[in-house]
Amino acid sequence: MECVCSQPSSLGAMSGARRYFVFLVAMAETMLWSGTIFGWASLVHVLKVQGVYSNLCPDHAHTPAHNTTTHTPLSHNKTGVVCGAQDDRMALLYTVACVVYSTPGIFIGYSLHHFGLAFTRVMGGLMVSCGFILLSLTTAATPDYLWGATILLSVGGNTIRMSGLQFGNLFPEGRNTAMAIISGVFTPSAGIMTLLQTMYENGMDWSYICWVFAAASSLVVVATPFIPRHHIPVSMQPVSKEDPDEKKEEGDEVSLRRSIFSLSSLLHAYWVFINLLGVTLFNTHFNTWINRFATTDDEVGLYSRLFGLANILCVLVTPLPGITMDLLTRRFQKGKSGMLAHLASLQAMILPMLFVTMSVTIQTTMLLFRSPWAVYIGLLCLMLNRPSCLAVGNPFVRARFPADHFNRLIGIQSTVLSLFTFIQYPHFTWAQHAYYTTFGLTVAAIALSFSHPLHLLSKSYLKRALPPAPVEV
């Protein structure tokens, strides 16, 4: 039991069995709890069935004659009421949840650095558990508990995700592979809400379901004593506490500013933002969209379950972008060295970036059609591009900019882009009044992001912008 509640001085002090056990625990936690909030479409369907926020609707809001923002006479809850005001509140909740998911990342990182892995994991596990408890209290009579539930599930989920990334250090010889696996299993966690929907539709009590998930997520706290207390060691041998990487030079800071405000950086920030926004808007509008043309409640339930299944199947797609870029890089770099090899590594990313942008454009365009085939195409695109946006975007940052700028650039990008996520709510409100105009302009904005991969075709620009020596990729 000496391994319990201890901090090993090095990876060599941890047995191979313990390292594999800890990694499997981290992988399971990330797969289950790190992104449950992104199964929002399935959760919203159940909440509407229960009549949550149906009090915002007029008595006859379920008929088109009384509410021009509702395009179907279907009722999706026990009160027989569903309306634009209810959809609007749900969209606001999801927007806030998406924003608070990433914005506190800097504080989570601070907690991991100063308070350690165990403390941070316990906080994450408790937040997710409390989120499900508040969800159990959410009913038509007490809808505002949903605010606390979504915020706790978001912040707690991201805390578990960021804590899980530390476990890539368990295998120095395969650190990138380990981190890719941990990052990839993040996407199926949205399927938890699909499981919740299925259990509810099969007659289980709502409170009981939520308490079961609250108890299951609390196992994050139970498992914490069996992992390193403060951090995952990065070396097989004990290392000095003195970190030479902490040295900062004025010239480096100037170089960082140049990286931030370079053409490539600005185009990349726009590319990541608009493509992730396209994926998020699809999630936000999905339930309202299918209600516009579905003819029965069962059909709506089917589409919601397919949405959850698409999120689960994302895990099968996760390794493909990395494998594709590695194959293209080796092919493009064959017979080249120095600056030419560096240029080749960047231009090898053009095709994967074009594919992601095309996939998001098609997915968003599907929202302009009211047909089952549009749902199937949109969900197929979601399955392909949701795990691919960051899987393609992050290696570009690593290849394009100096290696020691990577973490800071990614951190700055994540924080800034999370704040811009607030655009989801006014977008949803605008779409309620001018649906086709809103999404027509959205598709055009996504199409503009093709400029990012296409600018990499200019070898003259890249030769001027890249440092004399190629950075590590």
Closest Cα partner for 54 from 33, 83, 32, 25?
83
DSSP of 342-401: HHHHHHTTHHHHHHHHHHHHHHHHHTT--SHHHHHHHHHHHHHHTTHHHHHHHHHHHHHS
Residues 236, 16: contact at Cβ < 8 Å? no
SS3 121: helix
Q: 259-466 belongs to which CATH class? A: mainly alpha
Side-chain half-sphere of 134: how many Cα atoms within 13 Å?
17
The DSSP secondary-structure symbol of 244 reads: G
Question: CA 322, CA 303: separation in Å to the nearest integer?
Answer: 30
Residue with tokens 């006859």: 60
Q: How far is CA 315 from CA 77, 188, 276, in A?
A: 32, 6, 17
Closest Cα partner for 125 from 242, 222, 264?
222
pLDDT score at 381: 93
Q: Where are the alpha helices (DSSP H) in 202-296?
A: 206-217, 219-223, 250-260, 263-291
Looking at the domain 12-59+86-236, which fold is it? Answer: Growth Hormone; Chain: A; (1.20.1250)
Question: CA 168, CA 6: separation in Å to the nearest integer?
Answer: 19
Which residue ranges does the chain devote to CATH 1.20.1250.20?
A: 12-59+86-236, 259-466
Other C-beta atoms closer than 10 Å to the C-beta of 99 total 20
DSSP of 38-69: GGHHHHHHHHHHHTTTGGGS-TTTTSTTT-TT
Other C-beta atoms closer than 10 Å to the C-beta of 404 total 13
SS3 396: helix
Q: Residue 383 corresponds to which tokens in the numbers above?
A: 């399955």
pTM score of the predicted model = 0.65
Question: CA 235, CA 12: separation in Å to the nearest integer?
Answer: 8
C-alpha distance across the termini of the chain, in Å: 41
Q: Residue 300 corresponds to which tokens in the numbers above?
A: 């709506």
* Residue stretches of the chain with pLDDT short of 50: 1-2, 60-80, 241-254, 469-473
Question: CA 124, CA 218: separation in Å to the nearest integer?
Answer: 9
* 78-87 burial code (b ≥16 CB/10 A, e <16): ebebbbbbbb
pLDDT cut 70: percent of the chain above it: 81
Question: CA 410, CA 401: separation in Å to the nearest integer?
Answer: 11
